[in-house]
Structure 1
Amino acid sequence: MSDQIATLGQLLDGAGTQWRAFDIGRHITKLDKKQFLAIEQAQVPYPYPLAGHAWLAIQFWDTKASKEPYVWFLKFPLDEQSMLVSASRDHFADMVIQALGTEITGEQADGKLDNNPYVFTPNANKLAAFNAQVKVLLKQPASQYYEHAQLYFSGKVGFDNWQSVALQGIADFALRLDSDTNLSNLQKAWPHLPVEVLQPLSAMLEHVEIPTSMSKLLVDYAQTAINNSDTVAITAALRSISKGQAQGLCAQLVDTVLSSPAGQDSDVLLTIAGRCFKQLENPERLHVFMDNCAHHQQIDELFPSIFADLVAIPTIRPHLLGLLRKENRSETLARAIGRLFS
């Protein structure tokens, strides 16, 4: 039977399921089925590699049953050109068929793939954000924690009383900014939020195409944080704005941060590489960014690790390789590049 299965899409179709695929490595991004098929057939590189892998969530459900959808969280290796290593995908498909046959939904499927080497469990933030996004897509009600989160962000329970706000509630709130008065409440609340809320909230907003008004607020907020040398607030702003509708404002914020003293902080640099990576498709900004990485003093491995991370992203790779041949580089950047090949 496995001879007839060339892709995960075929496996899922053959089992009679409806399905959709998401990248969940950097941002949670729904992958178009045509795009996913092209990735599976190694016709195009994986668009969002992270640590040499494709990080996927495959959500599927039995068309005959109306139960909750099933989700596989899968991690597949990529080659040097960021193409999917099809042998790993084939191995996974074979293991599924051996364990489950074509009955991949229902009670008999529960727990059968727990020890599968390609299955992983996302961290708590990613899991909460994914659950919230799926409920929005399926037009299902949010979790039981949502209403209390709404109450918290409205300021009615006091911003210091954050201990009672569940992570899933924060995720549901962030993924439903277009509901009720959530957006206006968040904008009023933002300057008053303690770091214990700001950090998980920004880990949710990085998956949301926030509206322009919120991005404007974040640019102003980050400027104050730069003046105060508050790197925690700067990274929260960068994460929150990274997938926003106003990518020009995101670019503006990245430029402002890179030209400030905070622009050589390791957490800030790693946030830009991991979340605001689309802004690094601009060759001049990429040059400034890599120069900042080269000038970072505290962590020896920061430059090579960020280089390895970014060179795998297909839209950045040619510009980064172009930087290797660029003549007007600082001596510090030239030395850092030289060490990559020594």
Structure 2
Amino acid sequence: MTEQIATLGQLLDAAGTTWRAFDIGRHITKLDKKQFLAIEQTHQPYPYPLAGHAWLAIQFWDKTASSQPYVWFLKLPLDEQSRLVSASRDHFANMVLEALGTELTGEQADGKLDNNPYVFTPNANKLAAFNAHIKCLLKQPASHYYEHAQRYFSGQLGFEHWQTVALQGIADFALRLSHDDNLANLTTAWPQLPVEVLQPLSAMLEHVELPTTLAQQLLDYGLDAIKQQDTLALTAALRSLSSAPAHGLTAQLIDASLASTSNTHSDLLLTIAGRCYRQLENPERLHIFMDCCAHHTEIDTLFVSIFADLVAIPAIRPHLLSLLRLENRSETLARAIGRLFT
């Protein structure tokens, strides 16, 4: 890179673009520019690492040329301390400069980065949620699938007729709960939704700051799912609650899950680690959670993989490392920790 352009932020500024950065590895989370600069300068670790990488969406546009934004979906490696590997970031920026110069928008930019090793395509759920999120931010109309999804969740089509509802329509509906009667309709519809809808819907709601009324309903639904030993319904409730501002309600459902007979189920443990990880910043809850992981017997690598995932998260790392030295732990957990070093 040149001396004048040392970060991706500077590259985007030099191109005259307006831009935003988001983490999309776990939830869709906006990174403010000061935070993004500190991450780029390795002054702070990446807050939401996943599988050793920062999974970024950088949205940018040139207002003088077009109101339509461009998006880079980037997968950039992190080091053992979850700090950005600057050499990889520099490599990507150099490839951009070689391919596009500082003309990052317009027809000449189309397809030029398709084979870039740092560019990735999000899965269908994440892509639909991000598209819906961006349209809300830019105050643009939802996709043409939205109206049909609204009719479905209002009950007009019959909840058994889920096959006609597009994934993008579900995303648009979930990201617009404050519009029209969407929240009221979802509240009424939720107990009647088939699993084929609950699963993609929860994959959208996990990016939404749910109102407390809906969060309370999902807590009650999840507690009932525990009684019924319905892991699919429980994980749907947990995913949906994972970004809710009512953290106490999410914590209550996690604690009930970890105290239940389903507390070693792989889908439950992976959902908590991957989506409800903020609740694991509590050392006592983290201890109970890792003990449940240690008692899981179906997947040999589950404890190791969850440990590796969580220890990379800066807010959880010190609590997890202190667990290694904790004397008051079960023999099963002690053995599982011991296997980390064999």
For normalisation by structure 2, the TM-score amounts to 0.99
Cα distance in 2, alignment partners of residues 282 and 293 from structure 1: 16
1:218-233 alignment runs, 5 A limit:
218-233=218-233
Cα distance in 2, alignment partners of residues 31 and 199 from structure 1: 27
Q: Say which is worse superposed, 236-245 or 2-11, in terms of deviation.
A: 2-11
Instruction: Provide, for residues 287-324 of structure 1, a one-character-per-residue CA deviation record: whole Å limited to 9, x for no partner.
Output: 00000000001111000000000000000000000000
* TM-aligned CA deviation for residue 261 of structure 1: 1.1
2:270 matches 1:274:
no
Cα distance in 1, alignment partners of residues 214 and 84 from structure 2: 36
Q: Which residue of 2 aligns with 1:181?
A: 181
2:338 matches 1:338:
yes
Instruction: Provide, for residues 228-273 of structure 1, a one-character-per-residue CA deviation record: whole Å limited to 9, x for no partner.
Output: 1111101100000000020110011100001001111000000000
Cα distance in 2, alignment partners of residues 79 and 214 from structure 1: 39
1:27-42 alignment runs, 5 A limit:
27-42=27-42
2:162 matches 1:162:
yes
Cα distance in 1, alignment partners of residues 38 and 63 from structure 2: 25
CA contact (8 A) 1:2 1:97 kept: no
Q: Which residue of 1 aligns with 2:68?
A: 68
- State the one-letter code of the partner of 2:224: T
Q: Which residue of 1 aligns with 2:316?
A: 316
Instruction: Provide, for residues 173-203 of structure 1, a one-character-per-residue CA deviation record: whole Å limited to 9, x for no partner.
Output: 0000011110110010000000110000000
CA contact (8 A) 1:218 1:237 kept: yes
Q: Which residue of 2 aligns with 1:45?
A: 45
- State the one-letter code of the partner of 1:75: K
SS in 1 for 2:18: strand
Instruction: Provide, for residues 46-104 of structure 1, a one-character-per-residue CA deviation record: whole Å limited to 9, x for no partner.
Output: 00000000000000000212331000000000000000000000000000000001111
Structure 1: unaligned runs, 5 residues or longer: none
SS in 1 for 2:262: helix
1:64-143 alignment runs, 5 A limit:
64-143=64-143
Cα distance in 1, alignment partners of residues 177 and 262 from structure 2: 30
1:200-211 alignment runs, 5 A limit:
200-211=200-211
Cα distance in 2, alignment partners of residues 275 and 104 from structure 1: 34
Q: How many residues get paired?
A: 342
SS in 2 for 1:261: coil
- State the one-letter code of the partner of 1:120: F
- State the one-letter code of the partner of 1:7: T
* TM-aligned CA deviation for residue 3 of structure 1: 3.4
1:229-308 alignment runs, 5 A limit:
229-308=229-308
* TM-aligned CA deviation for residue 2 of structure 1: 2.9
SS in 1 for 2:71: strand
- The two structures, once aligned, show a CA RMSD in angstroms of 0.7
Instruction: Provide, for residues 136-164 of structure 1, a one-character-per-residue CA deviation record: whole Å limited to 9, x for no partner.
Output: 00000100000010000000100000011
* TM-aligned CA deviation for residue 224 of structure 1: 1.3
Q: Which residue of 2 aligns with 1:20?
A: 20
CA contact (8 A) 1:45 1:314 kept: yes
Structure 2: unaligned runs, 5 residues or longer: none
- State the one-letter code of the partner of 1:265: H
* TM-aligned CA deviation for residue 126 of structure 1: 0.1
SS in 2 for 1:4: coil
Cα distance in 1, alignment partners of residues 176 and 144 from structure 2: 14
- State the one-letter code of the partner of 1:94: N
SS in 1 for 2:304: helix
Cα distance in 2, alignment partners of residues 316 and 284 from structure 1: 12
Cα distance in 1, alignment partners of residues 162 and 156 from structure 2: 12
Cα distance in 1, alignment partners of residues 96 and 89 from structure 2: 11
* TM-aligned CA deviation for residue 4 of structure 1: 2.0
